[in-house]
Amino acid sequence: MAEPLLEVRDLARYFDVSPPWLNRVVERMPRQILKAVDGVSFSIARGETLALVGESGCGKSTVARVICGLYEPTRGSIVFDGRDLAAIADRREMLRMRQRFQMIFQDPYASLNPRWSVARIVAEPMRSHGLVESSREMRQRVEKLLTDVGLAPADADKYPHEFSGGQRQRISIARALSSNPEFLVLDEPTSALDVSVQAQILNLMRDLQREHGLTFLFISHNLAVVSHISTSVGVMYLGRIAEIAPTRLLFERPLHPYTRMLESAIPDISMSGKSRTPVAGEVPNPLDPPAGCTFHPRCPFAREKCHIEAPPLLPYEGARVACHGIHEGWVPIHVHPGALAAD
Amino acid sequence: MTAPLLEVRNLRVEFPTRRGTLTALDDVSFEIAPGEVLGVVGESGAGKSMTGNAIIGLLEPPGRIAGGEILLEGRRIDNLAPEAMRKLRGRRIGAIFQDPLTSLNPLFTIGEQLVETIRTHLPLDAAAARARAIELLREVGISAPERRIDHYPHQFSGGMRQRVVIALALCAEPRLVIADEPTTALDVSIQAQIIALIKRLTREHGTAVMLVTHDMGVIAETADRVAVMYAGRLAEIGPVQRVIHDPQHPYTTGLMGSIPSVGSDLERLPQIEGSMPRLDAIPRGCAFNPRCPRAFDRCRAERPPLLQANGTLAACWLHDPHRRAAAAGPDWSEGAVHG
């Protein structure tokens, strides 16, 4: 495996969601800490795509935001291209570092300023990082970027409301690319789009990745999309990684019971007519997660140990999984060879 | 086949605006049999929710039904007075919307809301209505319903709220349920539970369902037949297996192809170029013709009606019997979509 471009070690982010001070004193309400991300480690090699999947509230978007610097980490380190981001004290060096990261958000309606022209939106990262000398050069670059993402150069003078959802997402991508980043964090970039538009955007992401040698962290709840775009997949549950493996392996040999549950829950057009057993239960309240393995209340294999001791994420034949049963051999493993084979 | 429960004939919905009249639904016709689940799919703006809203009489003004008729159990319901329509809604037709939070009143317990709805439609006293509400909550899979009935909507999770909304929609034993994106706001594991629930309830009660969604996976698992909409028109309608595995309209082919699935290992997803036209710029002839890889002259001039096509009905001139006879043995295997 190539050297990692991004390495995240034991990353955690807690949010203080306590009631106001007065209520805590008068009503004796305790402090409440939401552990949105609690000890997540992974690395992404240059040119690869790691997808983080999970249900709402599992902490996947928080991971994305911490990496992009939108939240400070509570604990842990983020190492980008061999440099620990927390250790960079010089502001200018930090800016140069940040320029190599960009983020694309889910909602293309909320992430573009409606009062700015497309040219201004796309040029903003170049301007704030001081990447271009003249306005003519900037204009040329904006037009080139718009062409790269499948829009017309003349679209630069239009405003966001003149575009459809898919076209807006293309504008977001052009903006993200304008600072020449190496690493893109994509937070549910296609969830707000129709399937046919989603296909266009996913294909565009792949083309851009190849042309620009980009590395992606792809956040999604959609396993089918993830199986299509990523080289490896991390499955998150209540702020931790349950299982992380190369994409093909994850779909052919899902280890963690939660991974299996997610896979069997995807409505699939090829399943037509067949019925499947839906999984019982819901994600527990993250403010009051279960003790031990947080998945044990929903897990069909849970034993005494799972109620008490949280399983660490340990290697298992090409993957890493946090499950006592897998490592101790009392959870049966099913292999579906060819689950990802070509049609 | 038994008499259809719901018949929609040549439905046309218009929105008068300052810049002229927009046609949101154009000549839409279909039927739903008792106990049948009809899936309605399409991209945003295709008119699928509009069709549901037209049936339950909840078109947002200035939208209005400008033509065609809607029949429930053989009787016209599109020209009912608002008061009569209100009675019909809930009693004969139940509705489930996408967001369970906005379908429930946050200021009342779910019990109060259920009892009110039950008593509006059924001649029951307060105690009997409450007993029925508890029974309904148990049926939709809410544990300890005797206790949960006195809780407020915010005390339920998203999946549980959607179960309450389903209970509300079913409380007067309607003959038809219109479910508009019932699982879109939910996580996959919860989604699977809700789909299973809708399937079980409709089977047990013999309720017909019109399931509006953009998620083909949900349709594939739930629906008996599926209608594909494009730019306010029906592109194709037929048995779900046929439409998914052997689509006859080039738009359906493109739509099915663009869905990523775990089983495929394609380098690129097949994609349909361009996007759906806006209502004020629907092209002449077939609405799909500018994006269609197989369009020919007639498609640009004349709008195709729904034509018999290998087990489904497709609004596409490729299936015109005269054309087929003329071009003996056309090559159906040619790529229907850009790679």
**In the prediction, which pLDDT does B325 show?**
58
**In the prediction, which pLDDT does A270 show?**
62
Q: Which residues pair with A234 in a beta bridge?
A: A52, A244
Test A269 with B220 for CB contact under 8 angstroms: yes
Nearest-Cα distance to chain B for A197, in Å, is: 8
Helix (H, G, I), strand (E, B) or coil at B149: coil
Identify the DSSP state of B178.
E
Nearest-Cα distance to chain A for B245, in Å, is: 8
Test B217 with A266 for CB contact under 8 angstroms: yes
**In the prediction, which pLDDT does A340 show?**
52
**In the prediction, which pLDDT does B264 show?**
66
Chain A nearest-CA residue for B244: A269
Test B220 with A271 for CB contact under 8 angstroms: yes
> Cα dihedral angle (B269, B274, B279, B282), rounded to 10 degrees?
-120
Test A343 with B264 for CB contact under 8 angstroms: yes
Q: Are B300 and B285 in contact (CB under 8 A)?
A: yes
> Which residues 130-169 on chain B approach chain A with CB closer than 8 angstroms?
157, 159-160
In this prediction, does ipTM exceed 0.95?
no
Give me the tens of pLDDT residue by residue for chain A, a chain 343 residues long.
567 999 999 999 999 888 888 888 888 888 888 899 999 999 999 999 999 998 888 899 999 999 988 899 999 999 999 889 888 888 888 888 888 989 998 888 888 999 999 999 999 999 888 888 888 999 999 999 999 898 999 999 999 998 888 889 999 999 999 999 999 999 989 887 888 888 889 999 999 999 989 999 999 988 888 988 999 999 999 999 999 999 999 998 999 999 998 888 776 666 544 445 556 677 788 888 899 999 999 898 999 999 999 999 999 999 999 999 999 999 988 887 655 543 3
**In the prediction, which pLDDT does A92 show?**
87
Q: How many CB atoms are closer than 10 A to CB A27?
A: 8
- How does strand A101-104 pair with strand A4-16? unpaired
Q: Are A166 and A197 in contact (CB under 8 A)?
A: yes
Helix (H, G, I), strand (E, B) or coil at B68: strand
**In the prediction, which pLDDT does B338 show?**
43
For residue B157, the chain A residues in CB contact (below 8 A) are 282
> Cα dihedral angle (A116, A122, A124, A125), rounded to 10 degrees?
160
**Rounded distance, CA B41 to CA A151, Å?**
28
Q: How many CB atoms are closer than 10 A to CB A205?
A: 22
**Rounded distance, CA A170 to CA A149, Å?**
6
H/E element holding B325?
A: helix B321-326
DSSP string, B103-140: HS-TTS-HHHHHHHHHHHHS---HHHHHHHHHHHHHHT
Identify the DSSP state of B17.
E
Q: Are B14 and B23 in contact (CB under 8 A)?
A: yes
**In the prediction, which pLDDT does A278 show?**
58
A144 touches chain B (CB under 8 A): no
Interior/surface letters B227-266, b for 16+ CB within 10 angstroms, e for the rest: bbbbbbbbbbbbebebbbeebbbbbbbbbbbbbbbbbbbe
**Rounded distance, CA B47 to CA B15, Å?**
12
Alpha-carbon dihedral sign for residues B244, B249, B254, B255: negative
Distances from the Cα of B54 to the Cα of B11, B36, B71, angstroms:
9, 20, 12
**Rounded distance, CA B236 to CA B240, Å?**
11
Q: How many CB atoms are closer than 10 A to CB B112?
A: 16
Distances from the Cα of B175 to the Cα of A42, B5, B202, B205, angstroms:
53, 8, 10, 9
Q: Are A156 and A144 in contact (CB under 8 A)?
A: no
Find tokens 């995240």 and name the residue: A8
> Cα dihedral angle (A170, A175, A177, A183), rounded to 10 degrees?
-100
Interior/surface letters A101-134, b for 16+ CB within 10 angstroms, e for the rest: bbbbbbbbeebbeeeebbbbbbbebbeeeebbee
**In the prediction, which pLDDT does B337 show?**
44
> Which residues 218-257 on chain A approach chain B with CB closer than 8 angstroms?
221-225, 227-228, 251
Chain A nearest-CA residue for B187: A55
For residue A106, the chain B residues in CB contact (below 8 A) are none
Counts for chain B of helices (H) and strands (E), in that order: 13, 12
Picking from A169, A226, A272, A274 by the largest number of B CB atoms within 10 A of its own CB, the best residue to mutate is: A272
Q: Are A8 and A75 in contact (CB under 8 A)?
A: no
Please name the amino acid found at residue B251.
Y
pLDDT means over runs of 10, chain B (339 residues)? 86 91 93 93 88 90 91 91 87 85 88 92 91 90 88 86 89 90 80 83 87 87 92 94 92 89 74 84 92 92 92 93 60 43
H/E element holding B286?
A: none
